[in-house]
């Protein structure tokens, strides 16, 4: 249905980005910015500079190390990729020294490996790093350039612009991308530049023109940054949560798992909270040297299954207990659900007791799977169970639909521990 709509609408140049049939589940992949920023010193730092070699290296890792099969298919270029000048026809062009093959060649490299290429632009006079931006009179040119190159996703930032330029430019780019006839996913940074909340941000409109959007500031490689971002989203969950769904996602920014700022428990927490939020899963790390522990978290199939649930409902925080434990919940397809118990404590593992009935689960016997430890348990809705949550860590449960007592042949674990 969505493919037919996209083909028909591209001919009429009337469709909105939501109708492009893309990103029906939160997108997954790799993004350069947090880990590599604007490192353009390829003479002294050839392995880490923003160049075609870096993106080919990451593509090789995604295609050869089991990432692609799990859904990590986007390889996204961020700022500082272009030349400082447009070409004679007024088109953006890649830096010739760092991208000697050009972006079209890099896109083919991705496509040959079953991957997709994302690129970065800015709805302003310059990008945040000072490279050529997209002025209002250049929107259609840039959209067609990206399509000609075979690009699969555009992230459009908002530096060096103003409110009126953004209000006109972001919707126009949506139409321009569709007019190319190539299906290009569209990531808008627009709400992040307008404070992330109504009345300045119209989430109904965003859902009609963008596949995903940045609501808040950039993530940094620190636990404080992860916590401040997640707290903002859950504080405003009743506003931003309903805006998300298949083809349109809130984006709390990149996964920094595998870098330098998070412990193992904090890495698990980011992965779990991002899955509860139905957030895009764009890693920003070095896949060439990533530890086995970080890889295990990012490749956890149970969490990815929760993240990629086709119903596409963003989860919410149910409880913020005075003991320092938060409880989060996300409804899933086939009457399943996900629960996360997150510790704000910094002293020791905390044994938290709760029952499903206190979390508004209906009567029945439930099977639960703990996604990090692989433990399975069953519990009556009214029976208390205990989870042991490490400081700044999580326990994440996949909760199966309830089983009627007469159909269940096992025994419930009353007062069980998971």
| 133-166 residues labelled b (16+ CB within 10 A) or e (exposed) | bbbeebbbbbbbbbbebbbbbbbbbbbbbeeebb
What number of other Cβ atoms are within 10 A of residue 56's Cβ? 16
Please pick, among 57, 218, 221, 286, the residue that the annotation labels catalytic.
218
Please pick, among 142, 157, 251, 309, the residue that the annotation labels catalytic.
157
Question: Is 238 a catalytic site residue?
Answer: no
409 CB-near residues (< 8 Å, 6+ apart): none
Residue 194, both tokens: 């307008």
Do residues 81 and 132 lie in contact, with contact meaning Cβ atoms separated by under 8 Å?
no
Do residues 147 and 176 lie in contact, with contact meaning Cβ atoms separated by under 8 Å?
no
Distances (CA, A) of 153 to 102, 270, 302, 397: 17, 24, 27, 33
CA–CA separation, 179 vs 267, rounded Å? Answer: 40
Would you give the distance in Å from CA 53 to the centre of its chain?
A: 24
For residue 99, which of 46, 130, 53, 143 has the smallest C-alpha distance?
53
Question: Is 218 a catalytic site residue?
Answer: yes
> Which residues form the catalytic set?
157, 218
């Amino acid at each position: 249905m969505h493919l037919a709509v996209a083909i028909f609408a591209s001919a009429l140049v009337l469709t909105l980005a939501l109708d492009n049939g893309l990103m029906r589940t939160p997108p997954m992949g790799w993004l350069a910015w947090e880990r590599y920023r604007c490192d353009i010193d390829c003479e002294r730092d050839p392995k880490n500079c923003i160049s075609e070699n870096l993106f080919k290296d990451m593509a090789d890792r995604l295609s050869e190390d089991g990432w692609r099969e799990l859904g990590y298919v986007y390889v996204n270029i961020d700022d500082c990729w272009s030349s400082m000048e447009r070409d004679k026809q007024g088109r953006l062009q890649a830096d010739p020294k760092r991208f000697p093959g050009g972006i079209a060649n890099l896109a083919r490299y991705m496509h040959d490996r079953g991957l997709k290429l994302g690129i970065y632009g800015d709805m302003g006079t310059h990008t945040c790093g000072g490279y050529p931006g997209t002025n209002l009179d250049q929107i259609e040119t840039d959209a067609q350039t990206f399509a000609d190159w075979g690009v699969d996703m555009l992230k459009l930032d908002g530096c060096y612009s103003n409110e009126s330029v953004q209000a006109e430019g972001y919707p126009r780019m949506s139409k321009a991308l569709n007019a190319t006839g190539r299906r290009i996913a569209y990531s808008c940074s627009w709400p992040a530049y307008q404070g992330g909340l109504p009345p300045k941000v119209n989430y109904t409109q965003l859902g009609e023109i963008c596949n995903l959007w940045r609501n808040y500031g950039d993530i940094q490689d620190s636990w404080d940054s992860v916590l401040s971002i997640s707290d903002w989203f859950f504080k405003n969950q009743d506003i931003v949560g309903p805006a998300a769904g298949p083809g349109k996602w809130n984006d709390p920014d990149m996964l920094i798992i595998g870098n330098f700022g998070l412990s193992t428990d904090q890495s698990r927490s980011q992965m779990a909270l991002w899955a509860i939020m139905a957030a895009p899963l764009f890693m920003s790390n070095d896949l060439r040297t990533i530890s086995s522990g970080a890889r295990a978290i990012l490749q956890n199939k149970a969490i990815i299954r929760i993240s990629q649930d086709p119903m596409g409902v963003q989860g919410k925080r149910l409880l913020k207990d005075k003991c320092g434990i938060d409880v989060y919940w996300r409804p899933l397809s086939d009457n399943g659900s996900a629960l996360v118990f997150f510790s704000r404590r910094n002293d020791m593992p905390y044994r938290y007791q709760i029952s499903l009935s206190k979390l508004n689960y209906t009567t029945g016997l439930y099977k639960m799977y703990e996604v990090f430890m692989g433990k399975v348990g069953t519990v009556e809705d009214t029976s208390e169970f205990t989870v042991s949550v490490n400081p700044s860590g999580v326990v994440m449960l996949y909760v199966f639909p309830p089983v009627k007592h007469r159909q269940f042949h096992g025994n419930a674990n009353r007062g069980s521990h998971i």
